[in-house]
Amino acid sequence: MVFNSMVFLVFFAVVYAAYRALSYRGQNWLLLVASYVFYGWWDWRFAGLLLATSFFSWGSGLVIADCRRKGNERGAWWASFGNIALNLGILGFFKYWNFFVESFAALFGRVGLGLEPRLLGIVLPVGISFYTFQALSYSIDVYRGKLEPTRDWLDFFAFVAFFPQLVAGPIERASHLLPQIQRPRTVTREGVASGTWLAVWGLFKKVVVADNLAVLVDGAFGAEGASGAMGALAVYAFAMQIYCDFSGYSDIARGVARMMGFDLMENFRLPYFAKNPKEFWARWHISLSTWLKDYVYIPLGGNRRGARRQTANLFTTMLVGGLWHGAAWTFVAWGAFHGALLAVWHAWARGRKNDAGPGRWAWLRRVGMFHLVCVGWVFFRSGSFSEAWGVLARVATDWGWDIRAWNMLTAMVLLCWPLWAVQALQWATDDMESPRRLSLVPKAALLLVMALMFTWFGNTGGGAFIYFQF
């Protein structure tokens, strides 16, 4: 079931009506059942994996706490390690088995050891990377003593399977979401209004902007005979597409949750306004970047062991981030590229003051950073390195501008201008919910434009979100 479908609309209407009528304990039961229905809609067999992940993480939390109470630190370590190994094992098997087998076979092939890779016909369970990371954060936090384990399996299982953010995040921390599940929620008129706005805005970004840009990108990215100008426009369009697709999902998730009285973490904060790589990762997929920071970068040593070690840690963390996105070397390259950007930026910024300030060249740096991010998107979008190099080479060398390029540029502007207008307002006011606070005329104008664009350009086919595959 996807958010941008009529099935979800009916599903949510039914769930929401029941949710408002139930007491908080009944609401948790409802959330659990609804979340498994939501997840099982794709393939009910994968609900077993979700169940297993929830069970192992919940159980490990209890075992860790039990060991701690008995002073058995080694037992607590093993319980935590076992849970991490089990969850990463499931993730690795479903997501990376074929990738690693193929890669090893290719490696051995190069040194003359021809191996027949034994590939499995595995279907990647949707959202597995998201809920695995979410469940892992719980057991790690319990092990670190930052979180009290919950004995109530219902609350924990509802936390892991919470349907608004189950398949594409935000990757919530147990310390943030679990307490909200454990106590009664208050649904306020303000919460419903702001949740509805978030959901509608997210839906607009997905079905109007992202889905239409996807058609343009698919037709131009790496297409035979497309000029460099078309290639550049396709990369820009993909940058907007992936932002609107993913942030649209996050906004719908946050909006739907807020309507039910939950507060999910912000996942995107105007990422293309970033002036440097560090700022970009503080604005892009915030729930993943903070997860990687807390559970990979800092345990590796962070910036505490000198500049060289920090560079290596940054690079390793971003490689993990790249691999998290998908089982392909292009994703690893994307991660490495961002790791390199971060390393270079940290080296440059070390010892300099006031980098976070606006600065004289702030806008130029924003434009520069956006283009660096776009270079990364080329690898992210490409199916192979040769395709990525082909696109980059064409963009750099061929600037033939024809009617197709004009059409594509105009289509991009037509689709994106409300987004840019809203982002300009959000930027000017430093308030992501500022469109909701507009006065009568601009608010009505914005809503009217959105309604007409939904009508004329909205994709009603329920196109899948890009991040579902991760």
Partner 1 sequence: MEMDPAMIRVREAERRFLQCFWWVFPATGLAGLMLTGGGFWAWVSGNRPWLDWHRLWSWRAVAICVCGGAIVALWKGFLWRRVAPWGPIALVLAGLACAECMVRWPTAQTAFWLTARSRGYLPEVCYIRLEEAAGRTAGEGAVVLVGSSQMVRGVDARLLAEILESRDVIRRVCSGMWAQSMLAMWGRIPFRKGDVCVQIRSAFDFTIGTEFDADWFRPLASPSGWSAVFRTAGGRISMKHWRRGVDYTLAAFSECWRMRDGAIAIGRSFWKGERKPPLPGGDGWTERELVWSDWQWRAFEEAAERLEDAGVAFLVFEGDVNPAMQTKGLQDKHGEFLKRMEAGERAGKWVFIPLEEQDAGIGDGDWLDMTHVNAAGREKLTRAMGRVVREKCMVERNAPLRGGAK
Residue selected from 457, 464, 468, 469 as contacting partner 1 according to rule CB under 8 A: 457
Nearest distance from C-beta of residue 255 to partner 1, angstroms = 17
Nearest distance from C-beta of residue 391 to partner 1, angstroms = 21
Nearest distance from C-beta of residue 409 to partner 1, angstroms = 9
Distance CA 263, CA 184 (A): 13
285 a catalytic residue: no
Q: Which is nearer to partner 1, 33 or 425 (CB)?
A: 425
Distance CA 59, CA 337 (A): 38
- 406: nearest Cα among 236, 230, 234: 230
Is residue 347 at the binding interface for partner 1, with CB under 8 A as the rule?
no
Q: Using CB under 8 A, which of the segments 58-66, 137-145, 198-206, 451-459 binds partner 1?
A: 451-459
Is residue 410 at the binding interface for partner 1, with CB under 8 A as the rule?
yes
Here the tokens at position 469 are 């595959």
132 near 93, Cβ under 8 Å? no
Q: Using CB under 8 A, which of the segments 16-24, 77-85, 374-382, 401-409 binds partner 1?
A: 401-409
Of 176, 325, 338, 371, the active-site residue reads 325
- 399: nearest Cα among 217, 221, 231, 220: 231
Q: Which is nearer to partner 1, 72 or 459 (CB)?
A: 459
Q: Which is nearer to partner 1, 384 or 429 (CB)?
A: 429
170-199 footprint of partner 1 as x/- string (CB under 8 A): -----------------------x------
Angle between helical axes of 128-143 and 153-161 (0-180°, round to 10): 140
- 295-309 in b/e form (b: 16+ CB < 10 A) is bbbeebebeeeeeee
Nearest distance from C-beta of residue 421 to partner 1, angstroms = 10
Here the tokens at position 33 are 């059942």
Task: Determine the size of the site formed for partner 1 (CB under 8 A).
Answer: 38
Nearest distance from C-beta of residue 150 to partner 1, angstroms = 35
Is residue 265 at the binding interface for partner 1, with CB under 8 A as the rule?
no
- 79: nearest Cα among 96, 88, 89, 66: 66
420-449 footprint of partner 1 as x/- string (CB under 8 A): -----x--xxxx-xx--xxxxxxxx--xx-
- Residue indicated by tokens 């106590």: 183
Nearest distance from C-beta of residue 453 to partner 1, angstroms = 9
- 264: nearest Cα among 189, 169, 160: 169
Q: Which is nearer to partner 1, 86 or 411 (CB)?
A: 411
Is residue 216 at the binding interface for partner 1, with CB under 8 A as the rule?
yes
Is residue 215 at the binding interface for partner 1, with CB under 8 A as the rule?
yes
In Å, how far are 70, 210, 223, 372, 449 from 455, measured between CA atoms? 63, 15, 30, 35, 10
Residue selected from 212, 227, 287, 310 as contacting partner 1 according to rule CB under 8 A: 212
Q: Which is nearer to partner 1, 20 or 443 (CB)?
A: 443
Is residue 404 at the binding interface for partner 1, with CB under 8 A as the rule?
yes
DSSP string for 286-336: HHHHHHHIIIIIHHHTTTTT-HHHHHHHHHHHHHHHHHHH-SSHHHHHHHH
What does residue 28 show for φ and ψ, rounded to 5 degrees? -65, -40
> Is the bond preceding residue 170 a cis peptide, omega within 30 degrees?
yes
Q: Using CB under 8 A, which of the segments 59-67, 143-151, 273-281, 409-417 binds partner 1?
A: 409-417
The contacts found for 405-414 with CB under 8 angstroms, 24 or more apart, are 405/227, 405/229, 405/230, 405/233, 408/216, 408/220, 408/230, 408/233, 408/234, 408/237, 409/233, 411/212, 411/216, 412/213, 412/216, 412/233, 412/236, 412/237, 412/240
Q: Which is nearer to partner 1, 74 or 456 (CB)?
A: 456
Here the tokens at position 445 are 């104008």
Residue selected from 411, 423, 464, 468 as contacting partner 1 according to rule CB under 8 A: 411
Is residue 300 at the binding interface for partner 1, with CB under 8 A as the rule?
no
148 near 72, Cβ under 8 Å? no
Nearest distance from C-beta of residue 13 to partner 1, angstroms = 14
Nearest distance from C-beta of residue 227 to partner 1, angstroms = 14
Instruction: Give the interface with partner 1 as residue ranges (CB under 8 A).
Output: 6-7, 193, 212, 215-216, 403-404, 406-407, 410-411, 414-415, 425, 428-431, 433-434, 437-444, 447-448, 451-452, 455-458, 460
Q: Which residues are catalytic?
A: 325
